[in-house]
A and B are shown apart, each in its own frame.
Chain A
Amino acid sequence: MPDDAQAPPGIIGRPGAEAADLAALVRPLRDSGRDILVVSDKYPPHSVGGAEISLHLCCSRPELAGRVVVAVFSPAQARPGLYWHDGVAVVTLPDADPWPVHSRPFGTHRAISSRGGWARVRYELYQGAGFLFAGGRPWHIADRAAALCFELWGKPRGGIASDFGLGARWYRMRAIQALIGALAPHRVLLDNYRSILLGSGIRRRWPGIEITAVVRDNRFSCARYDQSRQIGGANCPRCRFQCATVDAPRQRFWHRRHLGLSARARQRALAAADRVVVTSGYLRREVGALTGAAPIVRIPNPGGHLGQTAGFIRGVPEAPGENLLIIGMLNENKGQLAFLRAAADWLCANPRRHVHLAGRGERIAGQIRAFAEREGLSRQITLHGYLGREALFRLMRRCQVVVAPAVWPEPFGRVPLEAGLARRPVVAFACGGLAESIDDGKTGFLAPPADYSTLIERIGRLMGDAALRHDMGMRAYAHISQRYDLDRVARAFLDLFELPAADRLEGTARAGSDRLPRA
């Protein structure tokens, strides 16, 4: 780790009991005037995703570096720690064990369960009773009991919708409360879904604290495990948790109930925020419907370090033939297999056509291999698996066109940003955030959702016209590097942090209209 400082020894193992130790860790930070707490799943240098980079660029600005403390949770950490990255103080807190034993630090359950005998029985009974009687209305006991039954005897597809059962005993909640108690920040920024779930617990304890929630996915408008807002490839009509029938046919009553409770828990957490930041216009519409009048600011994810990505692709040759690249985890939402099925005839018509898939997902990968074998397309489909950033950018340069056949509404969709930095046009269905970052006909093509014949026709058009492809690639680079510029995104966060509390609403509207890239 660059410029890290080791955490002093002897810090708390459990929040509450050893809060004094955490207080000792953060006291110098509090005394030096750090009044903004940022809670995030990940932070550089351990994670170099665009969201974390933009967050860090903002936090490391000279104007903010002395005011911000970042908190992250780490399952690898048994005790809180502190490191510095580019002048930003980052407190690492031990993560919680997974639900339903989430009231203990990570690893506790496994350690105790391995003991066996009476100690384990006592532990399980204690934990089970604690979980069942965790508060709330009497009928909530039945909800928790049903969830425990799922856990013990058969989970719904995609897992149990358990957010409703996290409650005040959640170790993460207690850890963050301990940190806030010790640090006494004036403002808290909760970055992404898991951090936002902490919002209601923070609001309860500190009603006067300013909370900003950054929403990056569909989890607040879709409680289903894959947040796809679809069932069987068709968009959900008005959500009544119909997916419960598909995901848990025999236990649909309880699963639907858990979904409803979890959705409400998420909305409550979101409602605890004073303002909400979203990454796309699509999310602004979706989240806006949930939060009502709460101010929502759109700050898109950044494209990436221009210098770094240029270094990745400098001197990389474009392969001959017609190579298209599909990026992203292999799953039904991203639509790789559905696209291949639709494009099989197009691929067969020209052996120089080749589909490259970059992303992990062994289940769909197996289906794709079987499909390719069956259709005689094994030589025209390559599964690259997960690729690091440099390898991914090199592959984008090797291919002529990037295709994003996602059938679900991507909450943001990074693919057009990265493809643009690689100077490659993107062809995608016009849904979700993808429809915002592709300028149809200029930086790529959009096809009506699920209209595969149009999608393939547009791909063919680009493949057959090198000049058009080149022009679109250049325009995509200009579009992305200007509108999704890292500095611009960081400045938008900076503006958000610096808004005086009294002017918050008015200032938010101003930032949304003048300073941020338009939707």
Chain B
Amino acid sequence: MAHDPLDPPPPPAPASRDKVLVVSVDAFPKLGGISTMTHHLANVFAELTGQSLLLAPAGSHVPDGYERRYDLIEDWESDTQARAGAAALVEDRRIEALTARIIAHEQPGRILLMHGFYYGPGVIAAARRASVPVSAYVHGTELTSQMIALERGAGAGADATALPRRLLSVLEQADEVLTNSHFTAGLVSRHARVRHLRVTGVGLSLSRLGGERRRSPWASPSLRRDRRRAMGLAEGPLFAYIGRLTDHKRVDRMLRICAEMQDATCVIAGEGPAGQALAACAADLGISSRCRFPGRIGEAEKWALLRAANFSFLMSEFDPRTGACEGFGIGLLEAAAAGALPVSSGADGMADFMLGPERPGVVLPVAPLDARASAALLSRLLADEAAMDGFVLRGRRMISNRYNWSSVARMILSPRQQVAPSRELRDAG
């Protein structure tokens, strides 16, 4: 029976000591939300249970700057393009045999599928035969995009090998489905009959939070101004957006607010199909000289930008054409950790972090967006250092208490366990 994700958390129980096999088609060195989450979760599982394993496709390795504490199984025979159709069935059998071999040798107590695509059917088939429970993670967009494809008839019908059907099959055969937000949990409930459904949220690493707290104890506007100067940016308020440049991210909203704040500048870091439209939008608004488009930036540059920014925007909204949505919006956590005020539309999965009682950032009404009023609101906040510090404090507290990989991993391991502060949590402050 599906557990209502809106229920209060059940009473605590001991954390599982089972060895976890994490399986993900998205893994390092490919950098992205799922690969990062996979890496951090596998690390925490290793700490909590003594050993964890990650099965990932050919070429997987952990890049410089990351520490790996889990065992990495590189599936060097993988063909990740074979996700649907007859080729996928052949690949399923290979994956099933591989997983069976791993289960036989490593004897994991449970399997966490970080992505329903590609590995899902084969892993579940092998896990069934070995009676190893499987949890499948849903992040949001991969489900909505496939459901829209299904509704439009692409790969639809009775073809069980089509990608949408395969994804639904994985969710329905998994022993439980985990989601990053209540929004995503709602999507899962709507489209699939799953056995058990839980919201675990996502997180940041506590070491990252501790480091950012030491670098920027509070909102620290003067410190940020110095950093902007060092980076060659204008000293006025800095709006930042970091992520893919796609339509549903609605970066144009940030530009319109920026246009209403005379001395503000924007940095839009990322690549994507909406890049040119955004540049054109900035030109139309007459703020091209105040906007920078550095393209895709690395981890170090990303954190440097957040440390210099006053506000970090994520104004996404659901795109019914493509199914693109904000499953959680991990960028909000990163902004909060770095002390840049998260500014959001609060839509979709972002609601879990932004619309809770703690209020770690600014939620702007977007239907319709009043850019001038929004700019005025942000200007008032900038002038009120105590209010800014309050946002920073609350955001970081939420990360410490709930939105960190240690807490998420504990929730995954023990459905009945409440998140208790660990030594690592205390160390992070």
Contact = CB atoms under 8 A, between A and B. Distances in A.
Interface stretch (B71-79, B170-178, B309-317): B71-79
Interface in B230-289: none
B98 A317 contact: no
Given A319-B71, A320-B46, A320-B70, A314 B77 contact: yes
Interface string A312-335: 001111111000000000000000
Task: Give chain B's interface secondary structure class.
Answer: mixed
A31 interface: no
Interface string B96-117: 0011011001100000000000
A464 B73 contact: no
Contacts of B304: none
Given A465-B64, A467-B63, A470-B59, A318 B105 contact: no
A1 B97 CA distance: 29
B96 to A, nearest CB: 12
A465 B106 CA distance: 27
Most chain B CB inside 10 Å of its own CB: which residue of A317, A423, A466: A317
Contacts of A315: 55, 73, 75, 98-99, 101-102, 105
A317 B64 contact: no
Task: Give chain A's interface secondary structure class.
Answer: loop
Contacts of B62: 466
Given A466-B61, A467-B61, A469-B61, A317 B76 contact: no
Interface in B125-145: none
Contacts, number: 48
Contacts of B59: 470
Interface in B28-68: 29, 46, 53-55, 59, 61-64, 68
A470 B59 CA distance: 7
Contacts of A467: 29, 61, 63-64
A318 B72 contact: yes
> How big is chain B's contact interface, by range?
20 to 34
Nearest to A311: B101
Contact of B71 (A318, A465, A469): A318
Contact of B69 (A316, A320, A423, A466): A320
A423 B76 contact: yes
B73 A318 contact: yes
Contacts of B54: 317
Contacts of B102: 315, 317
Contacts of B70: 320
A314 B101 contact: yes
B119 to A, nearest CB: 13
A314 B61 contact: no
Most chain B CB inside 10 Å of its own CB: which residue of A315, A316, A465: A315
A317 B53 contact: yes
A32 to B, nearest CB: 43
B368 to A, nearest CB: 47
10 contacts: A314-B98, A315-B98, A315-B101, A315-B105, A317-B72, A317-B73, A465-B64, A466-B61, A466-B62, A466-B64
Given A317-B53, A467-B61, A470-B61, 12 more contacts: A314-B98, A314-B101, A315-B75, A315-B99, A315-B101, A317-B54, A317-B72, A317-B73, A319-B71, A320-B46, A320-B71, A466-B62
Interface of A: 310, 314-320, 423, 464-467, 469-470
The 8 closest A-B pairs by CB, nearest first: A317-B71, A466-B61, A315-B102, A317-B73, A315-B101, A470-B61, A318-B72, A320-B69
